[in-house]
Amino acid sequence: MGLLEGKKAVIFGVANEKSIAWAIAQAFKEEGAELALTYANDAIAKRVFPLAESIGVSQVLPCDVTSDEDIQKVFFEIGKKWDGIDILVHSLAFANRDELKGSFLNTSRAGFALAMDISAYSLIALAREAYPLMKVKGGSVLAMTYYAAEKVFPNYNVMGVAKSALEANVRYLAEAVGVDGIRVNAISAGPVKTLAASGVGGFHQIAAHIEARAPMRSNIEQRDVANAALFLASDLSRRVTGGVHFVDSGYNIMGM
């Protein structure tokens, strides 16, 4: 019996085969879950449809999380096919490229609002629309965060502030829906070379720093995050909620 046998999962954030969300989708499928995937726009749809087909995903739906209408449509469509949702995965982030370099002092009002909207607020919006379908049996909500929410990382800038807000959202949502048997957790992943990370100057140096300094002297892989996600999505973690769980070779424990 798979860990997620009989469970239905909706996963936001597959862009390509390197996405953390894709590793999670594969791991969930292997453990018996039935899946729905969403994609941000038409350019990404071209990559997501073949991936979805390759593992037998039941539903693939468009969703730009800046649109309340898109979000409502997703859960309306899912509600037509499924009697409930057990797992919701939020694996999304965005800031304008020019906000992810140079001085944090230059963070613009519009850039701040956009990063917050897509990377932090969207978790609340997705959880609210999923809630009627999730409260039937209880469930697990997962978000992806980064240690730059807690400590200053050069160039991560406004995304660091957005990840702090995302982690606070995890705690407040956990309190709001705990009574309905719904758990909310975040995984704080070490740096991994995905589409979002390859848009970043100096990624190689960041990865080299982890290899030199992390307790385990190694970088993580997408599958490492997916394995932690399996635990948090399954009944193995049935009393675990509101937390930020590191998958980072131990990097976060280091002082100097």
**Are 173 and 216 in contact, with CB atoms under 8 Å apart?**
no
In the structure encoding, which two tokens stand for residue 110, read together? 């519009």
Site mask for ligand 0WE (CB under 6 A), range 19-58, x = bound: ----------------------------------------
Return the one option of ligand 0WE, ligand NAD, none that residue 124 interacts with (CB less than 5 to 8 A, by type). none
Q: Respond yes or no: is residue 121 known to be catalytic.
A: no
Q: Which residues, 68 to 97, sit near ligand 0WE by CB under 6 A?
A: 93-95, 97
Report the run of H or E that residue 11 belongs to, with start and end: strand 8-12
Return phi, psi of residue 210, to 5°.
-65, -45
How many residues of this chain interact with ligand NAD, rule: CB under 6 A? 27
Residue 247 β-bridge partners = 189
98 vs 235, which CB is nearer to ligand 0WE?
98
Q: How far is the CB of 63 from ligand NAD (least distance, A)?
A: 6
CB count in 10 Å sphere of residue 217 = 11
With a CB cutoff of 8 Å and minimum separation 6, the contacts of 117 are 65, 66
Residue 197 engages ligand 0WE in binding (rule: CB under 6 A): yes
CB-side neighbour CA atoms (13 Å) of 227: 8
How many residues of this chain interact with ligand 0WE, rule: CB under 6 A? 16
3-state per-residue secondary structure call for 50-115: HHHHHHCCCEEEECCCCCHHHHHHHHHHHHHHCCCCCEEEECCCCCCHHHCCCCHHHCCHHHHHHH
Read off the amino acid at residue 56: G
In the structure encoding, which two tokens stand for residue 205, read together? 């140096």
In the structure encoding, which two tokens stand for residue 1, read together? 């019996």
Residue 196 engages ligand NAD in binding (rule: CB under 6 A): yes
Angle at 174 between CA 173 and CA 175, to 5 degrees: 90
With a CB cutoff of 8 Å and minimum separation 6, the contacts of 80 are none
Site mask for ligand NAD (CB under 6 A), range 94-133, x = bound: x-----------------------x---------------
6 vs 199, which CB is nearer to ligand 0WE?
199
93 vs 134, which CB is nearer to ligand NAD?
93
CB count in 10 Å sphere of residue 2 = 14
Return the one option of ligand NAD, ligand 0WE, none that residue 100 interacts with (CB less than 5 to 8 A, by type). ligand 0WE
Q: Respond yes or no: is residue 147 known to be catalytic.
A: no
Q: Which residues, 137 to 166, sit near ligand NAD by CB under 6 A?
A: 144-146
Read off the amino acid at residue 252: N
In the structure encoding, which two tokens stand for residue 57, read together? 């995903």
Q: Which residues, 152 to 171, sit near ligand 0WE by CB under 6 A?
A: 153, 155-156, 159
- List, by residue number, the catalytic residues: 146, 156
Enumerate binding residues for ligand NAD (CB under 6 A): 13-15, 19-21, 40, 44, 63-66, 91-94, 118, 144-146, 189, 191-192, 194-197
Enumerate binding residues for ligand 0WE (CB under 6 A): 93-95, 97, 100, 146, 153, 155-156, 159, 191, 196-197, 199-200, 206
